[in-house]
Amino acid sequence: MPVEIAPGVFRIESRLGSRRLAQWLLRGSEGALLLDTGVAGTVTETVAPALRELGLAPEQVVEVIDSHADVDHYGGNAEARKLFGRARLRAHPLDRPLIESWETIAAERYGWYRARGLDYPAETWRWLEQAAGPDIPLDGVVEAGERIDLGGLAAEVMHLPGHSRGHLGLLLGDGTALIADAAMGRGFLNLAGELVSPPPYLDLAAYRATIERLRELSPARLETAHFAPLAGAEVGRFLARSARLVDDLEAAIDRALDDGPRTLKGLLPECAAAVGPYPEMEVELARSIGAHLEAALGE
C-alpha cells in the first residue's frame, strides 16, 4: 500500500468518497515524520497498516504535521496522538486554532457560506463533524523555513497559503515537493479522472503567489493529496492549469457582473458552469468567488 516516491519518502493513499486521499511518511535514520492524518479513521485503517508493511514501529514516528485546517488532513490527529505517543503534533500558527476546535473551524471555514445565503447540506455537515475527529490540542507550531532533520533525510517547511491561511508544504533535498492542497488544478477529480469538485481558495493574492512560487521552484516531483503523483513535465502543466483556473474564474465573474450587481449566491451557478461543472460540493466555488470579490474591494 505505501509507495516509495523518493528515497525514504512514502505516499500512503486511500479513498475519500469519489477521490484519492494521500498522506506521506518520511523515514530517516533518527525517526519518521507523518505529513497529514487524513479523516477520523485514516490513521487506524490506513496509516498503521502501512507502517507495519514498512516494518516501522509507531515509536519511530517522532513528528506529525498537519498541512492545513481541513478535516481530510487533520481528522486523524486524535488517533495519531494515541498511536504515536512520542510524536510532536504540529501545524502552522494560522491554521492551528481551526485544527484544535471543531467549533472554530465550523464557524470560520465551513460556516463561511451561511452568512451569504449558501450552505452545505445537513448530511455534509454531519460528515464533516465526524471526519474532523475529536478536538485535541496540538503540541506546537511549525513555520516557514524550519528544517526538520530525520537523519539522512531532511525536509524544509514551506508556507503555501491561499487554500487556507496557514497551509504548509515540505520540500525535500531531491526536489520532491509535498504540497497537499496548496495548488488544486481546475478542481478535484474522481478516480476516473473526471472533474467533480471545485478548488476553494480564500485568499486570491496568496493563492496566485503560491502557484507562482511553485512554478519558479519547478520541483522534480509534486505530491498533492487528491491527485495522482506528478513528475517531470506534468508538474508544470498542473501548476499552469491551477493558475489558469484562477484567471478563468476572474473572467467569468467579470462577465457576470457586466450585467449588473449580483449576490454571491447569484454568481455561483454561472461561474460554476463557466469553469466547471462541479457535480459535488459546488458551493465551495463560492469561497473562491468570494476571494475575488474581496480582492476587488480591497478587503
Least distance from Zn ion to the Cβ atom of residue 72, Å: 4
Q: Which residue, 27 or 96, is less far from Zn ion as judged by CB?
A: 96
Residue 123 neighbours by CB under 8 Å, 6+ apart: none
Q: What share of the chain is helix, strand, coil (3-state, %, to 5)?
A: 40, 20, 40
Binding map of Zn ion across residues 65-104, x = CB under 5 A, - = no contact: -------x--------------------------------
Binding pattern to Zn ion, positions 27-66, x when CB under 5 A? ----------------------------------------
- Asked if 284 is part of the footprint of Zn ion (rule: CB under 5 A), the reply reads no
Q: Which residues contact 122 (CB under 8 A, 6 or more apart)?
A: none
Q: Nearer to Zn ion by C-beta: 153 or 291?
A: 291
The whole-angstrom separation of Cα 32 and Cα 8 is: 9
Separation in Å, CA 98 to CA 73, 81, 103, 245, 252: 12, 17, 8, 27, 31
Short-list 82, 8, 71, CA closest to 37: 71
* Distance from C-alpha of 193 to C-alpha of 247, rounded to nearest angstrom: 22
How many positions of this chain bind Zn ion (CB under 5 A)?
3
Min. distance of Cβ 240 from Zn ion in angstroms? 21
Q: Which residue, 179 or 291, is less far from Zn ion as judged by CB?
A: 179
Phi then psi for residue 24, to 5 deg, are -130, 140
Give how far Cα 69 sits from Cα of 91, 127, 142, 148, 227, Å: 9, 16, 14, 21, 19
Judged by beta carbon, residue 58 or residue 199, the one nearer Zn ion is 199
The Cα–Cα gap between 27 and 15 comes to 23
Residue 252 vs 283, nearer CB to Zn ion: 283
How near is the Cβ of 284 to Zn ion at its closest, in Å? 11
Distance CA 92, CA 253 (A): 32
- Nearest CB to Zn ion, comparing residues 250 and 284: 284
Encoded one letter per residue, x for contact with Zn ion by CB under 5 A and - for no contact, window 144-183 reads -------------------------------------x--
Could you give the CA distance from residue 221 to residue 95 in angstroms, rounded to a whole number? 26
Least distance to Zn ion from the beta carbon of 32, Å? 22
Using the 8-state DSSP alphabet, how is residue 87 labeled? P
Closest approach, Cβ 226 to Zn ion, in A, equals 6
Which one, 72 or 282, has the nearer CB to Zn ion?
72
User: Could you say which residues in the range 189-248 bind Zn ion, by CB under 5 A?
Assistant: 225
CB of 16 to Zn ion, least distance (A): 8
Residues that bind Zn ion (CB under 5 A): 72, 181, 225
